[in-house]
Amino acid sequence: MFNFLKKREKDFEAYDENGIDADDMMDGQELSSGEREVFTDLSLHPNWHLPEEEVYVYRFLNQELPPLRPNQISVYGVDVKEKDGGLIVDGFVRHSLSKAIQLKPATVLVLNQQGETIARQPFDLGNLGNIPRKSSRPWTFLFPPSSIVQKDGKTLEHDWRLALELNKKPAAHKLDLDLQWKEKLPEEKVTKLTQLVTSMSPPKKGEINFYGLDARHADNGDLHVTLLIRNGNEKDITLNYLPLRFEDASCDIVAEGGFKLKSLSVKANASKPWSFIFPADSLKADVLDLTKWRAYPIQK
């Protein structure tokens, strides 16, 4: 029998703060009714055949659980043991929907009081079977040694909790417009740039690439080239120097140059337009065919 009293020492919670919106895990589920709070009924798995004293313990624990808000799903831990370098966690999988549900695979976390991850492990929550409306199903989660992110025995003696990790959809690739561009570009051009960036396939994760926007041969002979710097990283990047090569429709290299960018920043998962000027005396041809062209970094 697990030592559930150790977990119960904490003050009663107004709501189960482990609850997440059911919409984040379920597709097309009927929402629960409009109660302000939902107390869940105990529901044992059909294959669990427990002695009456264990059923009583689970019933007691379930009655002690804080209510859920409407339309929520939660994993609520009540006891944890360390064994062979891993963790055995007893808890409840709960929901406040007004119909029975069956869950999909999901990742479950063990968190400390500061919200830091102690262990992380995927589980097939479909193994819980159909969970009746507005109910709690007790379950045991086995976290192997490979799932342990950090060891903190003292934390596990007192304040810890289970949580569901949501598989968030990657953020849409967006336009990162420099302040001086915002001030100079007409609104309709900003709109077109935004539409272009969002309509293009985003760069691969971790990739940085360049997309040609405009190239023109100025009256003074300089070549003006505008590119989208596309950042596929999940973090901002900073470019200090960029060596570029330019080819016109003839596929000949007609310009090369190195550009100091003074710590040009491109936000995570975003594209920033930037212009580069090749001086007239650096061009390798007097006449340029700009009906087709490409500019790309010089690989060293």
State the number of CA atoms in the 13 A half-sphere of 297 facing the CB.
11
Pair 136, 11 in one domain: yes
Q: Supply the pLDDT for residue 270.
A: 96
Q: What is the CATH number of the domain that holds 289?
A: 2.60.40
Pair 158, 96 in one domain: yes
Q: Supply the pLDDT for residue 28.
A: 47
Q: Of 201, 199, 259, 254, nearest to 227 (Cα)?
A: 259
Tell me if residue 16 falls in helix, strand or coil. Answer: coil
Pair 59, 118 in one domain: yes
Note the pLDDT tens digit of each residue in 5-25: 444 444 445 777 777 877 766
Name which residue leads in pLDDT, 144 or 31.
Answer: 144
Q: Supply the pLDDT for residue 155.
A: 54
Note the pLDDT tens digit of each residue in 174-186: 999 998 999 999 9
Please give the C-alpha separations between residue 276 and each of 42, 111, 256, in angstroms, as whole numbers.
67, 49, 11
Q: What is the pTM of this model?
A: 0.55
Confidence of residue 166 (pLDDT cuts 50, 70, 90): confident
Give how many domains the chain has, as a whole number: 2
Answer with the one of 125, 146, 165 that is the final residue of a domain. 165
pLDDT at 153 over 80: no
Q: Supply the pLDDT for residue 53.
A: 94
* Mean pLDDT, rounded, for 128-152: 92
Between CA 80 and CA 137 the distance in angstroms is 17
77: containing domain: 4-165
Q: Supply the pLDDT for residue 154.
A: 53
Instruction: Write phi, then psi, for 115 (nearest 5 degrees).
Output: 85, 10
Pair 230, 274 in one domain: yes
Q: Supply the pLDDT for residue 11.
A: 46
Only one residue has tokens 């262990």, namely: 119
Q: Of 77, 83, 97, 95, nearest to 34 (Cα)?
A: 97
Instruction: Write phi, then psi, for 60 (nearest 5 degrees).
Output: -65, -45
Residue spans of alpha helices (H) in 147-300: 153-157, 179-184, 187-199
Between CA 231 and CA 176 the distance in angstroms is 10
Only one residue has tokens 């405009």, namely: 214
pLDDT at 92 over 60: yes
Confidence of residue 219 (pLDDT cuts 50, 70, 90): very high
Instruction: Write phi, then psi, for 78 (nearest 5 degrees).
Output: -120, -20
Between CA 4 and CA 6 the distance in angstroms is 5
Pair 30, 100 in one domain: yes
Pair 82, 228 in one domain: no
Pair 237, 115 in one domain: no
**Local structure of residue 197 (DSSP, 8 states):** H
Q: Of 68, 55, 61, nearest to 15 (Cα)?
A: 68
pLDDT at 254 over 90: yes
Q: Supply the pLDDT for residue 10.
A: 46
Percent pLDDT > 90 in the chain is 73
Between CA 98 and CA 70 the distance in angstroms is 9
Mean pLDDT for the chain?
Answer: 88
Between CA 181 and CA 179 the distance in angstroms is 5
Q: Of 243, 242, 291, nearest to 262 (Cα)?
A: 242
Pair 106, 250 in one domain: no
CB 133 within 8 A of CB 96: no
| Residues 6 or more apart in contact with residue 300 via CB below 8 angstroms | 243
Answer with the one of 122, 139, 165 that is the final residue of a domain. 165
**Local structure of residue 285 (DSSP, 8 states):** -
* Alpha carbon 2 to chain centroid, angstroms: 35
Pair 143, 238 in one domain: no
**Residues facing residue 135 across a β-bridge:** 41
Between CA 33 and CA 219 the distance in angstroms is 70
Percent pLDDT > 70 in the chain is 88
Between CA 197 and CA 211 the distance in angstroms is 10
Pair 121, 213 in one domain: no
pLDDT at 142 over 50: yes
pLDDT at 267 over 70: yes
The DSSP H or E segment spanning 264 is strand 253-266
Note the pLDDT tens digit of each residue in 11-63: 445 777 777 877 766 654 445 445 678 999 999 999 999 999 999 999 999 99
pLDDT at 87 over 80: yes
Pair 156, 278 in one domain: no
Pair 127, 202 in one domain: no
Note the pLDDT tens digit of each residue in 235-248: 899 999 999 999 99
Answer with the one of 131, 165, 199 that is the final residue of a domain. 165
